[in-house]
Amino acid sequence: MHPVIDGSGTVRAPLAGNPARLAPGARFGMAMRILRNYRMTNEVVEFEEGRRIAWSHIGGARWRYELAPAPAGTLVRETFDYSRTTVPLLATFFRLARFPERNRAGMSRTLDRLADAVTTGRR
């Protein structure tokens, strides 16, 4: 469902051969696009069923979704953790390419799209 809810416009489709269900240590690939098509391989590095999932990709940065019960349903928080980037040049590139600002806007759209998918059942 990630391509359906992705607010950045970069996530295109899961790659063939991905596991049917993600779990700690699972590796999965996605077809992506930023200026050109490319593939990204990820590894699940944090996982708590129904509460949290995070995956790491090139350079060690992490995408994370955290879920918490809320009076009207579920509170969802999405983060991109740059602090784990192991390649200093990549961290510099992220800043110069304005990824923090772009990711913040994309995350806001993603959360809106997720809410819409949950309430309407759209896939």
Provide mean pLDDT across the span 39-55: 96
Residue 111 is predicted with a pLDDT of: 92
Q: What percentage of the chain carries pLDDT values higher than 70?
A: 100
Pairwise pLDDT comparison (82 vs 117), residue with the higher score? 117
What pTM did the predictor assign? 0.86
Per-residue pLDDT for 51 more than 90? yes
Q: What one-character-per-residue DSSP string does 36-71 give?
A: EEEEEEEEEEEEETTTEEEEE-GGG-EEEEEEEEET
CATH architecture of the domain formed by 2-120: 2-Layer Sandwich (3.30)
Q: Where are the domains of the chain?
A: 2-120
Q: What is the DSSP letter of 20?
A: S
Q: Do the Cβ atoms of 27 and 51 come closer than 8 Å?
A: no
**Residue 26 binned pLDDT confidence (cut-offs 50, 70, 90):** very high
